[in-house]
Amino acid sequence: MDALPRTVTPESSASDPGKWIGRVLIAVLLGEGIWGLIVSLTNNLVLPLLARTMGADAQSPLYLGKGDFNVPALFTSVLELCFAAIVAVVLNSWVGRKPRLTRSKPVRMSPIPAQPGAPAASPQSGVPVQAAASPSSEQFWSPPEPSQPKTGAPAPPPPTVKPAKPTPPKEVYYNIVGEPINPTEDE
């Protein structure tokens, strides 16, 4: 197949309809100029050349004219093609231009203090503890907590707490509909 990989570049993306409208306009301008030149060459150069070569009678249905070249009309069609090409080049440079980036003033970011969570009671001691911060509050800066004043004696180590034994999960039975049922009840 293709030896070169095809990649989409920002210039060829189909996301900008303004560029495609400009390209279609360029194609129409150049097509009109080229078609006008072809028609002018046919009517003003090729047809008179054939008329001179054939030399037919004026009364014949195959008569192509006197065989006079119309140089001003040919020159006009060449100028029209040149003007269409100039407009196409200007339009292409205008369409292919990248949008200007506007410089804006820098935005100052101020820290948003984290909202304290609702205190929850610790299951072992009954003392309220701070709830875990939400993931969205971790991305903002919060002021450091004040440090403990240093005294001559080191702080006592925290008491060790024995972990509670996990209780086995209660078995739950469901009916066909998906509602939980009590297996000890008989209906």
The pLDDT of residue 137 is 47
59: left (phi over 0), alpha (psi -120 to 50) or beta: alpha
Give tens-digit pLDDT for 36-61.
999 999 999 988 888 888 777 766 76
88-117 burial, b at 16+ Cβ within 10 Å, e below that, comes to beeeeeebeeeeeeeeeeeeeeeeeebeee
Q: Which two tokens stand for residue 145?
A: 């907590």
pTM of the shown model: 0.44
**Mean pLDDT in residue range 154-183:** 82
The pLDDT confidence band at residue 116, using thresholds 50, 70 and 90, is low
Percent residues over pLDDT 90 in the chain: 21
